[in-house]
């Protein structure tokens, strides 16, 4: 959530930034916030004046009673009573303005960083780096969904029977391969200084508001209506909310956390080739890295997080490129975002496997997460960051397609110690 200070002191810059993000009605929304804030402050000032007047009158009442001027004292009491009625009206007016202002603020996305390029959609994203070599496959190379069926590694139909489309069942070596990837990603995160946590897979409404999934993306989240709980779309939500309503010490920053979780996304409206096989699922596994840092150091943290994700892709021997997202393709909450995509050789297309974002103070303002400066003892909003390190389904799709051989699918060397075999195939493994 944008701060009132930012909006009031940099109104035109904020509006321009929101327009860069293609937020419809940017100027109207910001003007509404300022109007509600003005109404709130005016009501507060009148209320304060009323309270001061009541205090003065109360002193007069005491003096008049001592002097035996009961009628005059009673007359002043009536004035005080009338002022108290006005107090209630002003308080209701102030609360209404506050509520309207907060609701409007919650509907406004984060302002993009100056480095975010102009653009409407994914076609306008900018490639900032490339790495790895694309494999040369024979003309009869199979896409991952055919390879998974050939070697009996994933059963999509059985998942449909038990739950529905987008909930595959991993079998045999593939189940173990999934666990190998999860363990590898967590081990690498720990080596980079991230403290592992195991979060809940459901969160309350306050947590959804804290990280910005609500009210923006409630239609994309699975909702347990009876308990008003939401299945998490990413471990970012519970892990970041650990620090909701917390004041941290500057000396403890940056805080680094990592977590494995299953992720649940309705993906309403998804269709076509992008959803085939493992390309887009309703449930998938992911390791998330989260940081909290000072404003002056958060972009150094962003770079370190990007280096970490890039290191994982290099170790997995996957061709990749890194995109800086344009304003129109960014998420609601991010100030800047970099997507990592890997090359899927049989599909001949790039697959997104990670987004690394700096939210600056946007999430922290919602979370009421601050830190106390060591020297001044003043509190400020932290900057929050998160990234996928990594999401499994499309990583698996790319590994399978890029490493297919006549004998089976070659397992990247770095994963062999984790899974205990060198080839993904239909042969039994004990």
Tell me what the mean pLDDT of segment 406-416 comes to.
96
Cβ atoms 286, 233 nearer than 8 A:
no
Number of Cβ within a 10 Å radius of residue 343:
21
30-81, pLDDT tens digit by residue? 999 999 999 999 999 988 888 888 777 777 776 766 667 776 766 777 777 7
Token code pair at residue 83: 């002022």
**How far is it, in rounded angstroms, from Cα 369 to Cα 191?**
27
Average per-residue pLDDT in the chain?
A: 93
Tell me what the mean pLDDT of segment 297-320 comes to.
98
Out of 84-93, 278-287, 331-340, pick the least confident: 84-93
The reported pLDDT for the residue numbered 428 is 67
Token code pair at residue 23: 């937020």
Cβ atoms 402, 394 nearer than 8 A:
no
Ordered by start, the domain boundaries in the chain are 4-106, 122-424
204-247, pLDDT tens digit by residue? 999 999 999 998 788 899 999 999 999 999 999 999 999 999 99
Q: Is 144 exposed, middle or buried (0-12, 13-18, 19+ CB in 10 A)?
A: buried
Tell me what the mean pLDDT of segment 340-354 comes to.
97
Cβ contacts of 212 within 8 Å, gap of 6 or more: 332, 333, 359, 362, 363, 366
Token code pair at residue 230: 């939401």
Number of Cβ within a 10 Å radius of residue 71:
8
pLDDT band for position 84 (cuts 50, 70, 90): confident
125-184, pLDDT tens digit by residue? 999 999 999 999 999 999 999 999 999 999 999 999 999 999 999 999 999 999 999 999
Pick from 332, 400, 315, 323: nearest CA to 354: 323
Question: Is CATH 1.10.3470 the classification given to domain 4-106?
Answer: no
Say yes or no: do domains 4-106 and 122-424 share a fold. Answer: no
Cβ atoms 18, 109 nearer than 8 A:
yes
**How far is it, in rounded angstroms, from Cα 429 to Cα 408?**
14
Q: Note the pTM of the prediction, 2 decimals.
A: 0.93
Question: Which position has the higher pLDDT, 312 or 78?
Answer: 312
Buried b (16+ CB within 10 A) or exposed e, 76-107: beeebeebeeeeeebeebbeebbebbeebbeb
**How far is it, in rounded angstroms, from Cα 330 to Cα 22?**
10
pLDDT band for position 399 (cuts 50, 70, 90): very high
Determine the distance from the C-alpha atom of residue 145 to the mean position of all C-alpha atoms in its chain, rounded to a whole number: 30
Fold category of 122-424 in CATH: BirA Bifunctional Protein; domain 2 (3.30.930)
User: Strand pairing partners for 411?
Assistant: none
pLDDT band for position 3 (cuts 50, 70, 90): very high
pLDDT band for position 269 (cuts 50, 70, 90): low
Q: In the chain, what percentage of residues exceed pLDDT 70?
A: 94
**How far is it, in rounded angstroms, from Cα 420 to Cα 317?**
18
**How far is it, in rounded angstroms, from Cα 257 to Cα 289?**
6
């Amino acid at each position: 959530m944008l701060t009132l200070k930012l909006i009031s002191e940099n109104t035109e810059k904020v509006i321009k930034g929101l327009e860069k993000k293609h937020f419809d009605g940017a100027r109207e929304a910001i003007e509404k916030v300022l109007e509600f804030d003005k109404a709130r402050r005016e009501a507060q000032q009148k209320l304060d004046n009323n309270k001061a007047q009541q205090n003065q009158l109360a002193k007069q009442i005491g003096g008049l009673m001592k002097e035996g001027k009961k009628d005059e004292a009673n007359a002043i009491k009536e004035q005080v009573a009338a002022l108290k009625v006005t107090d209630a009206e002003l308080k209701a007016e102030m609360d209404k303005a506050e509520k309207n202002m907060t609701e409007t603020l919650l509907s406004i996305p984060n302002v993009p960083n100056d480095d975010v390029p102009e653009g409407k959609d994914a076609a306008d994203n900018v490639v900032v780096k490339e790495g790895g070599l694309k494999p040369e496959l024979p003309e009869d190379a199979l896409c991952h969904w055919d390879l998974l069926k050939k070697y009996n590694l994933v059963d999509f139909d059985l998942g449909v029977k038990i739950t529905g489309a987008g909930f595959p069942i991993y079998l045999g070596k593939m189940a173990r391969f999934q666990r190998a990837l999860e363990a590898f990603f967590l081990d690498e995160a720990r080596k980079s200084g991230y403290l592992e946590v195991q979060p809940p897979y459901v969160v309350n409404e306050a947590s959804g508001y804290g990280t910005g999934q609500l009210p923006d993306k409630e239609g994309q989240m699975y909702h347990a209506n009876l308990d008003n709980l939401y299945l998490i779309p990413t471990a970012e939500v519970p892990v970041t909310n650990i620090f909701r309503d917390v004041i941290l010490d500057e000396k403890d920053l940056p805080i680094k956390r990592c977590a494995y979780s299953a992720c649940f996304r309705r993906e309403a409206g998804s269709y076509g080739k992008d959803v085939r096989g493992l390309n887009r699922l309703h449930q998938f596994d992911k390791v998330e890295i989260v940081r909290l840092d000072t404003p002056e150091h958060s972009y150094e943290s962003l770079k370190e997080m990007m280096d970490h994700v890039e290191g994982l892709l290099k170790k997995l021997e996957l061709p990749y490129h890194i995109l800086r997202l344009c304003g129109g393709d960014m998420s609601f909450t991010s100030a800047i975002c970099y997507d990592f995509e890997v090359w899927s050789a049989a599909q001949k297309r790039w697959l997104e496997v990670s987004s690394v974002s700096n939210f600056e103070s946007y999430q922290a303002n919602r979370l009421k997460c601050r830190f106390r400066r060591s020297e001044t003892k003043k509190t400020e909003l932290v900057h929050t960051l998160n990234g996928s390190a990594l999401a499994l389904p499309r990583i698996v799709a790319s590994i399978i397609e890029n490493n297919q051989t006549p004998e089976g699918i070659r397992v990247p060397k770095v994963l062999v110690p984790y899974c205990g075999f060198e080839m993904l195939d239909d042969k039994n493994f004990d």
